[in-house]
Chains A and B, each alone.
Chain A
Amino acid sequence: MINSSSSYKTGPERWSLTLVLRAFHIDALLLFLLLVILVAGLMILYSASDQNISLIVRQLVRVGTAFLVLILLANIHPDRLRDLAYWIYGVGLLLLILVLMVGDEGKGAQRWLNLGIVRFQPSELMKLAVPLLVAAYIAERPLPSSFLRIAVCLSMVFIPSLLISKQPDLGTALLIVISGLLVIFLSGVSWKFIISFLISVASALPILWYVMHDYQKQRVLTFLNPESDPLGAGYHIIQSKIAIGSGGLSGRGWLEGTQSNLAFLPERSTDFIFSVIGEEFGLIGVGMLLFLYLAIASRGLYIASQAQSSFARLLAGSISLTFLVGVIVNVGMVTGLLPVVGVPLPLISYGGTSMVTLLASFGILMSIHTHRRMMGS
């Protein structure tokens, strides 16, 4: 296999930004879009955190780390990743079991492994490992796959997701299930199978309901109808809707959001940061933001369509679409369309490991795109 950087040697022999980017296997367009959204994100975070500089610095350090990981992954050939998929998944699964046994607790949930210097969330590793493994496994044989292989894929998806939902981290578990199912969907599984799968899931729900305790049922009901609990989930939603709605068309302006300043909006630098954007930048601002997200995902989908192996195609497709699903779930949640599950707003919410995994996945996208075999070489 010819390293793609070698094929560029015919170009002008001076150092230019393009050359550097090529040498590091960076996709310029994707990088540009990411940088725009990250800068905007930091500005919003500054406002949402009551102008807390040290928090911004911490977030910057994370973004920096995340970019290092992005560059690293962009330089690993997709085939190498495919060969490592089983190992990454296996290690991730072991760590997940470990975290359930000895993990640190934060806010009532057990998600962290304390590695001395850093605390690490194995569930974030699984966000990459699950689509990676499912894509690697499913692309081993001609597509579309047999039922048996799809069943194996489903267990690869649901075993770690169940472990993660036990921590409990419903949001991450949900995104992992979606990323895995997307690979299966993209691999061309028959519509008949998809529909019967959906029907069997839907018919399993009443049975689950039947075996639940009363207080668990109560909790599910509150989850589905947050307004019935005006101080818990309902409080978040009510305040979030007020913040977004009062932003109007053009918003109150940066740092001018009263909802955030008066601290009515809970979790405003993490899961509910979109409401701050809505309040301060209005419909125009959130429209631009949604456009940026769409642009990033479109670039990812384009990369997927140009990929040269089924494995790369499936992986790139899943990564781009899962990224979009993350946006949809978060915005749906803060606008009261979906129940509150605790999914951060990609690339903007304050938080460590998820930023690293997200940029790592974009590193994979870049790797897929820049390691293509050039025609005629």
Chain B
Amino acid sequence: MKNRLTLKDHFRESRLVNDRLIFSAIFTGVLFAIIFARLAILQVVEYEHFKTLSHNNRVDIQPLPPQRGLIYDRNGVVLAENIPTFSLELTPESVHSVDSILTTLAELFSLSSDDVAEIKKTISEQRGFSQVVIRKSLTEKEVALFSVNQHKLTGVDVVARLIRHYPHGALFAHTIGYVGRLNERDQKSVDRKEYRGTLQIGKTGVEKEYENLLHGKVGYRHIETNVQGRTIRELTREPSNPGQELFLHLDINLQKVASEVLADYNGAIVALELKTGGVLAMVSKPDFNPNSFVSGISSKEYNLLRDSADRPLFDRSIRGHYPPASTLKPFVALAGLESGLIKSNSKTFCPGWYKLPGHDHRYRCWKTHGHGIVGLKESLAQSCDVYFYDLANSMGIDQLHGFLDLFGFGHLTGIDVPSESAGLSPSKEWKVKAKNQVWYPGETLISGIGQGFNQTTPIQLAQATAILAMRGEHIKPKVARAIRAHNADELTLLSGESAESLPVINKKHWESVVDSMVEVTKGRRGTARLLGKTLPFNVAGKTGTAQVFGIKQNQKYDVETLEKKLQDHALFVGFAPAENPEFVIVVVAENGGSGSKVAAPMAKKMIEQYFGLVAND
């Protein structure tokens, strides 16, 4: 049936298709005529023009990569600069055989077979007409060696380049970050035109966050070359525009002190200026030398950094998760006051432990024999756990969670350093979702003292403390303060978006909590009483000692027998002056053992540095 139908229509069909064939033939014929006309125009009408161009076509176009913007601290000290180096570079397209030229280069500059393999890999990843670095930071001797052998090395050049340099080495490794080789993956996310001739791009930290500002605009130059493609003279030049210079809130002196006081502890210190939300110091330890990354870190060195148990590449200040421990108590106390569950003068009896009604488990206070009868002020000053067990229990986790939300716990602070981590502020809902388990009342108790599921980052603690210091005004921490065009005089301030203030709170409640925090550093029994002693103003603070290792019932925490890795983290949060605050400080010393003995003295040194109280000894 089908066949018969087609057979019947065969004549009509072939007419139909033939008509279309004729139409298409005419159409493509016209296109061919257009193309031929174009060729005739190029080769006959404009022949003279192109002949001249061709005659002069020893003209090459080269990109002029822009100079990357410098980075300064708040005092105008250079934190990231560009220094000139000579590097040996290969343009694969200008070479007949990449393999043979690499063999020659390997002999001359004693490259290992690993180096050669890596160069080949880079060549295969690269797109047309860009240089591949064979050897960076050439010595004068090596430059001379190149000149002597230049005739054998068509397609290879010694190029003077500016490369990024971090004069203070590891001091700003995490916050400022580093630039690294622009690879295929980076190429996909940038405007390739703007990165012609550029070999580096911001990989981490401020260098990455402000890449668009720092990079600048590419330029071009036309040069006359000889047959080997070597430059004879420059014909025209469209200069590149250097990137913006970046001025940070960071203060190098404070940063140095932070790095010194943290010494060999792993951990982080964050200091904020309250007026602006600016980050004055942000240190994460252990650190690393960012200069190693600038023109390609060797895989050996990289593996060492990556595989180190202390994770030096990890930015603890914005990504490290720590239990806030007792540093959470001021916020819990404020929640209690605000919800009316406690009054500034209500008292609780601390026998050294707390029991949930109908349960046997004893939730212990850090002070084995108890604090006796304590009010808000004493419990904060002496960091009584039982007071907060009781408070948390009567408040319930959901109300506590909702209140901590206001201070940014469990949320990104939005700091201008990439890959921040959000921490965790637990709730019933979270536990069902994440662990598929119900919430137990006991977990509310330990959340009340900042243990259990609670995880905060140092920058988050700093933000929360800043909000507390400002009595509810929202603060968004920021590292960059201003930009300036190259050679311009005026700074343009980078404006931060202002967030809403907290929908709180009885003014008296703020003052009760702040007063209690002053008691921490000033009171006879305050956990950080050494801190406030010699200072001419009041410091509001709170120590914290975060448990890393669970201790069984009836077992004692003994520093002597516990491995270093399992010892408690030492924390301190604070601001000064308490009444009219300017400065926020957060210290986290991993396995420091005790907030009052280890973290508080570090914070004191930072406060002294900021307020210019350093004793000359």
Q: In this assembly, does A47 line the interface, its C-beta being within 8 Å of a C-beta of chain B? A: no
- Contact yes or no, A108 B127, CB < 8 A: yes
Residues on the A chain within 8 Å of B35, using CB: 290, 328, 331-332, 335, 337
Q: In this assembly, does A278 line the interface, its C-beta being within 8 Å of a C-beta of chain B? A: yes
User: Could you tell me the distance between the alpha carbons of A141 and B8 in the complex, rounded to whole angstroms?
Assistant: 12
Q: In this assembly, does A211 line the interface, its C-beta being within 8 Å of a C-beta of chain B? A: no
Q: In this assembly, does A235 line the interface, its C-beta being within 8 Å of a C-beta of chain B? A: yes
Residues on the B chain within 8 Å of A279, using CB: 54
Q: In this assembly, does B103 line the interface, its C-beta being within 8 Å of a C-beta of chain A? A: no
Q: In this assembly, does B40 line the interface, its C-beta being within 8 Å of a C-beta of chain A? A: yes
The answer to whether A231 and B196 touch (CB under 8 A), given A242-B57, A262-B58, is yes
Q: In this assembly, does B61 line the interface, its C-beta being within 8 Å of a C-beta of chain A? A: yes
Q: In this assembly, does A246 line the interface, its C-beta being within 8 Å of a C-beta of chain B? A: yes
- Contact yes or no, B57 A232, CB < 8 A: no
Residues on the B chain within 8 Å of A50, using CB: 96
- Contact yes or no, B51 A246, CB < 8 A: yes
| A110 CB, min distance to chain B CBs, angstroms | 12
Which of A61-69, A197-205, A317-325 contacts its partner?
Answer: A317-325
Contact residue among A218, A219, A242, A317 (Cβ-Cβ distance under 8 Å from B17): A317
The answer to whether A313 and B17 touch (CB under 8 A), given A219-B192, A232-B192, is yes
- Contact yes or no, B43 A249, CB < 8 A: yes
- Contact yes or no, A245 B49, CB < 8 A: yes
- Contact yes or no, B17 A186, CB < 8 A: yes
Interface range on chain A (Cβ under 8 Å from partner): 35 or more
Q: In this assembly, does A287 line the interface, its C-beta being within 8 Å of a C-beta of chain B? A: yes
- Contact yes or no, B53 A186, CB < 8 A: no
B contact patch SS: helix
User: Could you tell me the distance between the alpha carbons of A304 and B23 in the complex, rounded to whole angstroms?
Assistant: 14
- Contact yes or no, B193 A232, CB < 8 A: yes
User: Could you tell me the distance between the alpha carbons of A93 and B227 in the complex, rounded to whole angstroms?
Assistant: 47
- Contact yes or no, B28 A321, CB < 8 A: yes
User: Could you tell me the distance between the alpha carbons of A144 and B2 in the complex, rounded to whole angstroms?
Assistant: 15
- Contact yes or no, B17 A187, CB < 8 A: yes
- Contact yes or no, B57 A244, CB < 8 A: no
In the complex, residue of chain A having the shortest beta-carbon distance to the beta carbon of B15:
A188
Please report the total number of B residues contacting A with Cβ < 8 Å.
Answer: 60
Q: Which of A105-148 contact B (CB under 8 A)?
A: 105-108, 140-144
- Contact yes or no, B128 A266, CB < 8 A: yes
The answer to whether A262 and B227 touch (CB under 8 A), given A143-B16, A248-B47, A310-B17, is yes
- Contact yes or no, A231 B220, CB < 8 A: yes
- Contact yes or no, B220 A230, CB < 8 A: yes
Contact residue among A143, A230, A305 (Cβ-Cβ distance under 8 Å from B21): A305
1/0 contact string of B25-37 vs chain A (CB within 8 Å) = 1001101101110
Q: In this assembly, does A264 line the interface, its C-beta being within 8 Å of a C-beta of chain B? A: yes
Residues on the B chain within 8 Å of A242, using CB: 50, 53-54, 57
Q: Which of B391-436 contact A (CB under 8 A)?
A: none
In the complex, residue of chain B having the shortest beta-carbon distance to the beta carbon of A222:
B193
- Contact yes or no, B191 A324, CB < 8 A: no
In the complex, residue of chain B having the shortest beta-carbon distance to the beta carbon of A264:
B57
Q: Which of A277-301 contact B (CB under 8 A)?
A: 278-279, 282-283, 286-287, 290, 294, 297-298, 301
| B99 CB, min distance to chain A CBs, angstroms | 14
| A321 CB, min distance to chain B CBs, angstroms | 5
- Contact yes or no, A328 B53, CB < 8 A: no
Q: Which of B174-227 contact A (CB under 8 A)?
A: 184, 189-193, 196, 220, 227
| B487 CB, min distance to chain A CBs, angstroms | 26
The answer to whether A263 and B94 touch (CB under 8 A), given A231-B63, A325-B28, is yes
| B239 CB, min distance to chain A CBs, angstroms | 15
Contact residue among A248, A290, A297 (Cβ-Cβ distance under 8 Å from B36): A290
| B343 CB, min distance to chain A CBs, angstroms | 56
Contact residue among A243, A286, A313 (Cβ-Cβ distance under 8 Å from B54): A243
Q: In this assembly, does A4 line the interface, its C-beta being within 8 Å of a C-beta of chain B? A: no
In the complex, residue of chain A having the shortest beta-carbon distance to the beta carbon of B17:
A313
- Contact yes or no, A301 B129, CB < 8 A: no
Contact residue among A310, A324, A335 (Cβ-Cβ distance under 8 Å from B42): A335
Residues on the A chain within 8 Å of B60, using CB: 264
Q: In this assembly, does B608 line the interface, its C-beta being within 8 Å of a C-beta of chain A? A: no
User: Could you tell me the distance between the alpha carbons of A241 and B38 in the complex, rounded to whole angstroms?
Assistant: 11
- Contact yes or no, A142 B6, CB < 8 A: yes
In the complex, residue of chain B having the shortest beta-carbon distance to the beta carbon of A287:
B36
Residues on the B chain within 8 Å of A246, using CB: 47, 50-51, 53-55
| B28 CB, min distance to chain A CBs, angstroms | 5
Residues on the B chain within 8 Å of A282, using CB: 43
Residues on the A chain within 8 Å of B192, using CB: 219, 232
The list of the 7 closest CB pairs from A to B, nearest first, reads: A245-B50, A246-B54, A188-B16, A283-B43, A245-B42, A246-B50, A186-B20
Give me 11 other A-B pairs in contact (C-beta within 8 A), A232-B129, A266-B93 excluded: A142-B9, A215-B190, A219-B192, A232-B196, A235-B61, A263-B229, A290-B32, A301-B25, A324-B32, A335-B35, A335-B42
| Pairs A–B under 8 Å by Cβ, sample size 17 | A108-B125, A108-B184, A185-B20, A186-B24, A228-B193, A232-B129, A241-B42, A242-B54, A246-B47, A263-B229, A283-B40, A287-B39, A310-B6, A317-B17, A328-B28, A328-B32, A337-B34
